[in-house]
Amino acid sequence: MKTKWFKHTLLTVLAVAVAFGSVSAASAASKLNGKIVINGSSALLPLTLQAANEFKKKNPKVKISASAAGSVTGPQSVRKGIADIGACDWDASLDVPGFKAFDGQVANKVAVIPFAAVVNKGVKATNLTTKQLQGIFSGKIKNWKEVGGDDAEIVVVNRAFGSGTRVNFQMKALDGTNFMSKGDNYKEVKSSGDMKTAIETTPNAIGYIDLVYVTDKMRALNINSYAPTEANIISGKYTVWAYGYYMTKGKPTGAVKAFIEYVQSKEFQNGSLKKLKFIPISAMKN
């Protein structure tokens, strides 16, 4: 009896000792390695993950953990010190509609994100001017026949306030005019994925989305007669695009700096980044 009891105690003590030992060993090891935490825009997440994988292969000692919520969480996490890099669809060091500038943060351009106004496949209209887009998204134009389509009511699908895609679409495609916020044929969705489903399944629907998400069940509209293609964006004819930024607290240093430089490098920009349907920043002249 006594020996058994003694064995149990001994085992427990040993287990506890081992557990503590391994914890302290792990924390000691992580101090030696560089560690990068990335949070923010879900539009940039595919790019970030791809870059992280490639970067880790070259620098096995650096640990990178990336996650995404909404664009604004990026600069917010950086301000709170939770993340080293905040991915954001707009330059968060400046004021944009609805969001104040984040002081003391540096915006590092990493990619060009094209956006497209998209409609359900059944919609006949193929081209809209900025004026027409403003009218539709503010609720003044209510029927497709007013803009060259069939006689059917327009269903407007919008992203919720705070979405980076929404901020960019409002600035670039609507010249800053306000969205409608009520109506029988108006609904809001919470992510790019939901936007995709809504446009695909709702007849007469119009919305907007990152070009990456456009499928063959929906149609990307020409805006002011120009299609959303890489060539039109680079030549400046299609204006609805935005830079994606990595926000950092002050100028980036150490592992963070190396990572951002890798993402900005020619090798990554012209390789994996292009494959993911983003456009290299070096392609833009302005």
Partner 1 sequence: MLDVKASSGGGVAGELGRSLHTRSGRSFDRRTRLSFYNRTFKVICIASAIFVCLILFSILFLMGRTGMLTFNEVSVAEFFFSTEWVPENEQYGALVFISGTFVLTALTMLISVPISVLVAVFLAEMSPRWLRTLLRPVLDLLVGIPSVVYGFLGMTILIPVLRDITGTNIGDGLLAAAIVLTIMVLPTISRISDDAITAVPKKYRDASYALGASRFQTIVKVVLPAARSGIMYAGILGMARAIGETMAVVMVIGNTPQLASALFQPTAVLTSNIVMQIANVPFDSTWNYALYMMGFLLLLISLLMIVAIRMLQRKGAVS
Identify which range of 105-113, 195-203, 220-228, 259-267 contacts partner 1 by CB under 8 A: 195-203
Cα–Cα distance for residue pair 32/253, rounded to 1 Å: 16
- Asked whether the beta carbons of 195 and 209 are under 8 A apart, the reply is yes
Cα–Cα distance for residue pair 107/104, rounded to 1 Å: 10
Torsion angles phi and psi, residue 99, rounded to 5: -130, 130
* Residue 170 C-beta: closest distance to partner 1, Å: 11
* Residue 72 C-beta: closest distance to partner 1, Å: 5
**Shorter beta-carbon distance to partner 1: residue 21 or 98:** 98
**Shorter beta-carbon distance to partner 1: residue 54 or 200:** 200
Site for partner 1 in 225-284 (CB under 8 A): none
* Residue 119 C-beta: closest distance to partner 1, Å: 14
Q: Which of 203, 215, 231, 235 binds partner 1 (CB under 8 A)?
A: 203
Q: Which of 10, 29, 160, 231 binds partner 1 (CB under 8 A)?
A: 160
Site for partner 1 in 172-191 (CB under 8 A): 181-190
* 193: contact with partner 1 by CB under 8 A: no
| DSSP-derived secondary structure for 108-134 | EEEEEEEEEEEEETT----EE-HHHHH
Cα–Cα distance for residue pair 206/128, rounded to 1 Å: 11
CA dihedral 77, 82, 86, 88 (to 10 degrees): -30
Identify which range of 44-52, 113-121, 152-160, 267-275 contacts partner 1 by CB under 8 A: 152-160
* Residue 80 C-beta: closest distance to partner 1, Å: 7
Three-state DSSP string of 27-56: HHHHHHCCEEEEEECCCCHHHHHHHHHHHH
* Residue 181 C-beta: closest distance to partner 1, Å: 6
What letters, b where the CB count within 10 A reaches 16 and e where it falls short, cover 69-100? Answer: ebbbbbbbbbbeeebbbbbbbbbbbeebeebe
Torsion angles phi and psi, residue 280, rounded to 5: -60, 140
- From residue 39, give the alpha-carbon distance in Å to each of 89, 90, 101, 243: 12, 14, 18, 17
* Residue 160 C-beta: closest distance to partner 1, Å: 5
Cα–Cα distance for residue pair 203/157, rounded to 1 Å: 11
**Shorter beta-carbon distance to partner 1: residue 150 or 153:** 153
Site mask, partner 1, residues 40-79, x = CB under 8 A?
A: -----------------------------xxxxx--x---
**Shorter beta-carbon distance to partner 1: residue 98 or 254:** 98
Question: Site residues (CB under 8 A) for partner 1?
Answer: 1-2, 5, 69-73, 76, 80, 97-99, 153, 155, 160-163, 181-190, 194, 197, 201-204
